[in-house]
Amino acid sequence: MADFLHELVGSISQGASGNPTVAMIEAAFAHHGLHWRYINMEVIPEDLGAAVRGAKAMGFRGFNCSLPHKVTVIPHLDGLGESAAVMGAVNCVVRRGNKLIGENTDGKGFLKSLQTAIDPRGKSVVLFGAGGAARAIAVELGLAGTKRITIVNRSEARGSELVGLLRDKLKLDAELVVWNGDFSVPASTDVVINGTSIGLYAPEARLALDLDSLKPGMITADVVFSPVRTRFLDDSAARRCTAIDGLGMLVNQGIVGVQFWTGINPDAAVMRAALEKAMGV
């Protein structure tokens, strides 16, 4: 039998060396006196099945997986959590008994971050984007009782696929607006989210949005975490919206992962500080 000095969790990724998540998760382990390690492993798509079997055989308590493995990992697992099953994507695997169960913490992290400002139950949301992040957010908002979601997306095909999923699987009041020119946010909207990659490493990048349609008291949130304060967040804060940054989503994903793996409630401030240090922000 293998004699482990530490409980192991990890990250199965491709091309993601130096992942700041490692620093954030290990800071939580150290702060809470857990003799756990989180290690980053590069795995090519052809080796994914062998890597998952290896992690199971070696007693890993779980792992994160990033692109390109989020969908292809599913056939190698023993089951899926509720939101991962709805969205058909896994970014966090948790050992429960002798089973490896796939979860998705992207949307859960976003939701936790959003809940510091508002409870989405019964609210109306405008969500820009229909890619992986937007899909995870929309599903988790739906499961949390959001009343209405308007997806605003450039590609009609991707947008209608997401709207179809929200309607069919979650019976949600969802509609698609194909994004063409400045979008005007309806006055009845409670939360406006940038779920696209617009603004990533591009502080000047502008979301095509009529800023005058943003009303004081609306909540705005960005998935983009670099820069931490995007132009969308600055512009909306200037209109007296409550602006929530994408770093909160990233930290909360880490928190949910640590909760899943270890059962403890890690200190959010410690994890955010470690992430900011690793990212140099």
Identify which of residues 24 and 133 has a Cβ nearer to ligand NDP in the complex.
133
Select which of 70, 108, 112, 123 is catalytic: 70
Identify which of residues 70 and 76 has a Cβ nearer to ligand NDP in the complex.
70
* Residue 70 is a catalytic residue: yes
> What is the spatial distance between Cα 67 and Cα 137, in angstroms, rounded to a whole number?
17
Contacts of 31-34 spanning 24+ positions with Cβ under 8 A: 31/266, 31/267, 31/270, 32/262, 32/264, 32/266, 32/267, 34/7, 34/262, 34/264
Residue holding tokens 């194909």?
Answer: 178
**Sheet hosting strand 148-153, strand order edge to edge:** 173-178, 148-153, 124-128, 191-194, 219-222, 242-244
Binding site for ligand NDP (CB under 6 A): 106, 109, 129-134, 153-155, 158, 196-198, 200, 223-225, 246, 249-250, 253
- Closest separation between CB of residue 269 and ligand NDP, Å? 17
- Closest separation between CB of residue 56 and ligand NDP, Å? 26
Residues 6+ apart with CB under 8 A from 33: none
- Closest separation between CB of residue 33 and ligand NDP, Å? 27
Q: Which residue is nearest to ligand NDP (CB)?
A: 131
DSSP H or E stretch at residue 41: strand 36-42
Identify which of residues 8 and 209 has a Cβ nearer to ligand NDP in the complex.
209
- Closest separation between CB of residue 222 and ligand NDP, Å? 8
Identify which of residues 208 and 238 has a Cβ nearer to ligand NDP in the complex.
208
Catalytic residues: 70
